[in-house]
A and B are shown apart, each in its own frame.
Chain A
Amino acid sequence: MRAATRHRSKPNGRAGTTQAQRPSGRRPTAEKRLVAGAVAAALVIYIAYESIQIGDRSLLVLLNGLTAAGLYFLLASGFTLVFGLVRVTNLAHGGIYLIGGYISLTAQRTTGNWLVSATAGAVFAAALSIALYAVLRRLRGDGLRETMFTLGAAIVIADQVLARWGGVPSDLDPPSLFNGSVGLPGSDLLYPKFRLAVVGLAVVVGLSLWAVMHRTRFGTTIRASVDDRDMVSILGIRVELVFAAAFAIAGGLAGIAGAAGGTYLSLAQGEDNRVLLASLIVVIAGGLGSIGGAAAAAVIVGLVEAFAQTHHPILSVLMTFGTLVAILALRPHGLFGRRTDARS
C-alpha cells in the first residue's frame, strides 16, 4: 500500500527512502560474520543433540536435511532474487515449479532423457515467468496488486495443470547415472544417488549464482539495481531487461527444481502450494532479497525439518515454523535481510 501512495506522489522517488535505509542497508561485515557464526553454532549444537538421540541413523537424517535444503534453495534463490530486484512476491512460484515438473515429465515420456527433459521444463518455466513479468510491468510500483496478480496466476496455472495432466500423481525416472542407491557407512539403510545429485545441483547452482553476481558485468548490474535501480536506469541500462532476466532465472530454477522434485518426490495437485510455502519460509528466514541468506536458511530449515521429523514426527511441522519465529524474534528482517520491505 505504501508503495502505491508513494508511487503516486513521487513517481521516481526511490532515492529518499533508499537513503533513509542506507545505514541499515549496508551492514558491517563484522555483524554478518557474527550472525553467521551464531547460526552455525546453534545448528551444530542442535544437530549434535539430535544425533545423540537418534543414534546410528543420524548421517541419513543429516543427508535428508541437506537434500531438502537443496530443493528449497533452488526454489528460494530465484524467489528472493526477484524480490530483491523487482520487489515482487511471486505467489505463482509454486505453480511454475509444478508446471516445469510436468513439462519435464511429458518431455521424458517422449525423449527418455532426463537432462533434456529438465532443460525443456526449465525453458518453459522461464518463458512463463517472463510472460508473467510482461503483464506485471503494467502494475509497476504497486506491490500489493502485483502480488495479488501473481496469486491469480497461481490459481489459473494450478487449474490448467489439472486440465492438461489430470489429477493422477506421477513422477519422473531418475537419469541412469543417478539411478539406484548407495550404502551408507555405519547404517543399515541406503541412500538414493539422485538425492545426492540434488544436493550437488544446488551447490553448483549456488556457486554459479555467486559467480554471476560477483564476477560478471550482468551481476554487477543486478546488484546495482537492487541497491538503487533509478540510478542504474539513469546510467542508460535498460532495467526492464535486467528484471526480465531475473524473472527468467527464477523461473528456470523453479523449472529445474520441478524436474528434480518430480524425480525424487512426485508431481501432483497441491504440490505447488507446498513448495510455495516452503520457499516462503526459507526466504523469510534468510532475509528477503539475500541469496546467501536463502542458502543459509535452506540448510537450517531442511536440517531442522529432517531431525524434527525423526525425533518428534507429529509436531515436526510446528518445529519448522517455530524455528522461523525464533529467527524473526532475534532478527526481524531475517538472517541476512536488509530493511528492503520499507521500500516496497
Chain B
Amino acid sequence: MPAASRTAAALGVAAVSIVLVPMLVSDFVLLQIVIKSLWLGIVGAGLAFLIGQAGILSLAQTAVFGASGYVMAILVLDHGWGTWWAVVAALAAGPVAGLIVGVISRRSSGLYLMMLTLAIGVFVFFFAQQYQPITRGHTGFNGFDAPMLFGWDLNERRPLFYATAVAALAVTALLRYVARTPAGLAFRGLRDNRHRLQALGYSAETTVVSAFVVAGAAAGLGGVISVWYNGAISPGSIDLTRTIELLIVIVIGGTLRFEGAFLGALAVTLLRNYASDFTNRAETLVGVAFMAVVLLTRHGLTGVLIGFLSRVRHALRLVRGQRPAPDQEMAGRPVGRPGP
C-alpha cells in the first residue's frame, strides 16, 4: 500500500474511532478514561518524542505542562483575559517553558540531564506552592470553566472529547512532521552520537534546546486540556507523584514510537481507576506491573504490539504464499535507528 493511502486509512480509522467511541462507552469512561488518557498521552507523546528521537530523558515535562496550565488559569481568573486569548498564551507558554528548560540543560546529557531536569521540575512545583502573589500557593486555581468552541460547550463531555481527540491527532501530525524535517534528523543524530553530530557542523546545544521546544509544544497543549478537564490546577497537579506517573506512561507505552504514549496513558489511567477494585495494595500492583514491563520488554507495550503485528503480518504473507517483503524481515527490530 502506498504511503498516501496508508495515511488516508489511518485518518479514516481515527475518524471512525472519534465517532464510535462516545457511542460505545459510558459518559464516565468517556471523560475519566478516554479524555484523560488522551491528554495525558499528548503530554506523554511530547516526552516520548524527546526520549525516543533526541535521546533526552527530561523529568521537567510535568513542569512545562504545568506552566502552560497555570498561564491559562492565571490570565483568565486573575487578569480577566478572554479564555481563547489565554489559550493562545498558554499554548505559547509550553514551547517557551520548554525553551527555558532546554537552555538550562543544553550542556548536559544522559542520566545527568535527567536529574537536572528533575531538579527544575521540583523547583517549578515549589514555586507554584510558595509564590502566592502569582500562583495562589497550595490551593491553586479552582472553578475554571472551559470555553465554547463553535457553539459547543467544552465543559460537556462529548465536545471536550472531540476537541481532545483532534488535539491528539494534531500533536501526532506535528511530531511526525518534525521527525521528518532536517531538525528531526539532527535530533536522532544527537541521540546516537553527540560528538559526531557536532563534527557534522550541527550545534548540539541548539539541537537539545529545539527538541525541548518541540516537546514543550505538546506539553502546552496537554496543559490547556488538563485544566479544562480538571477545572482546576494546583501544585498537586504537577508534583513529584505526577512526574513519576508520566514516566510510568512513557515506560509502559515505550519510546520506540512516540504514539506509544497514548497506549501507556490508557494503561496507566485504567490501572489508576480500577486497580483498587481488585486489591488493597494498588500501589504495589502498579509498581510490580511497571517493573515487569521494564524487565521483560525493551520498548514497552508498543514494542510488544509491534512485534506481535509484524509476526502476524509475516504469517499472513506466508499463508498467501508470498515471499516476505524485505521490510517485514526488519519488522522485529527497532525502526528509525540506524544499526552499527
Contacts and interface: CB of A to CB of B under 8 A. Distances in A.
Given A152-B288, A284-B119, A315-B131, A83 B111 contact: yes
B82 interface: no
Contacts of A143: 110-111
Given A9-B339, A152-B290, A147 B122 contact: no
A147 B114 contact: yes
Interface size class of B (residues with CB under 8 A): 35 or more
Given A147-B114, A149-B295, A341 B283 contact: no
Interface of A: 1-5, 8-10, 20, 83, 87, 89, 135, 138-139, 142-145, 147-149, 151-156, 158-160, 162-163, 273, 277, 280-281, 283-284, 288, 314-315, 317-318, 321, 324-325, 328-329, 332-333, 337, 340-342, 344
B63 to A, nearest CB: 12
B51 A138 contact: no
A261 to B, nearest CB: 19
20 contacts: A1-B52, A1-B255, A5-B191, A9-B340, A10-B340, A138-B295, A142-B298, A143-B110, A143-B111, A151-B290, A155-B244, A155-B284, A155-B287, A156-B284, A162-B283, A284-B115, A328-B108, A332-B108, A341-B111, A344-B110
Nearest to A163: B281
Contacts of A340: 112
Interface of B (DSSP majority class): helix
B119 A281 contact: yes
Interface string B7-42: 000000000000000000000000000000000000
Contact of B283 (A139, A158, A273): A158
B170 interface: no
Interface of A (DSSP majority class): helix
B123 to A, nearest CB: 4
Given A314-B130, A342-B109, A89 B115 contact: yes
A318 B127 contact: yes
A258 to B, nearest CB: 19
B247 interface: yes
Nearest to A273: B240
Interface of B: 51-52, 55, 57, 104, 107-116, 118-120, 122-123, 126-127, 130-131, 191-195, 240, 244, 247-248, 251, 255, 281, 283-284, 286-288, 290-291, 294-295, 298, 337, 339-340
A309 B339 CA distance: 52
A284 B110 contact: no
B56 to A, nearest CB: 8
A29 B147 CA distance: 62
B231 to A, nearest CB: 27
A341 B119 contact: no
Given A3-B110, A321-B122, A321-B123, 6 more contacts: A152-B288, A152-B291, A156-B288, A284-B119, A317-B130, A337-B112
B281 to A, nearest CB: 6
Nearest to B113: A341
Given A89-B115, A273-B240, A341 B287 contact: no
A139 B51 CA distance: 18
Q: Would you list the 5 A-B pairs with minimal beta carbon distance, nearest first?
A: A155-B287, A152-B291, A341-B112, A159-B283, A156-B287
